[in-house]
Amino acid sequence: LDPATKEVRTEKTECGRYGEHSPKKEARGLVLAPALVQDRQACYPNVRFPPVPQSTAWVALVAAGNCTYREKIRNVAKHNASAVVIFNSANDTITMSHPDTDSIVAIMIPEPKGREIVVLLERHIVVTMHITVGTRNLQKYVSRTSVVFVSISFIILMIISLAWL
């Protein structure tokens, strides 16, 4: 919700990736970044977030770097966040390893998307996030050369089979 225009803007994207040890389930809530700029990476147990009512679901947005993903997630989990969104320091995502982080949802998003959300929060724009399990895109794991090779092999085998009859 933009405070100046009172306009609600929605955006749907599949840019995030669940962490290796994260439950693959939905999470939603108000997006909050650490209160102090120097705490944006949530590496210290005493990291503070803006106050929210106890019953309000919220999602922590923290930057990658300076400590393990496990430490970040545990530090945020102490504050009862519904999920942790870590934005990478590059324009891609990795599957984070974070054992023993209880049952909190943890995802990684690319740096540009994380910075975009941070800018909105700094402008005091209310941001809510709904994390859902997306589709699995296997296209990037399939080589076009392999598909062409298998297709041609299949056609040749079909021709040989038909000629045999």
Average pLDDT over residues 59-76: 91
Q: What is the mean pLDDT of residues 49-69?
A: 90
Domain ranges of the chain: 17-135
* Helix H or strand E encompassing 75: helix 69-77
CATH topology (fold) of 17-135: Glucose Oxidase; domain 1 (3.50.30)
User: Average of pLDDT values for 59-64?
Assistant: 93
CA nearest 103: which of 33, 25, 14, 15? 25
- For residue range 123-132, list pLDDT tens digits in order: 888 888 998 8
Strand partners, 105: 83
pLDDT for 143: 66
pLDDT score for 57:
92
Best CA proximity match to 45, nearest among 81, 69, 71, 84: 71
Whole-number pLDDT of residue 102: 72
pTM: 0.76
Decide if pLDDT at 2 tops 80: no
Mean pLDDT of 64-81: 90
- Average pLDDT of the chain is 84
At a CB cut-off of 8 Å and minimum separation 6, what does 28 contact? 57, 59, 82, 83, 128, 129, 130, 131
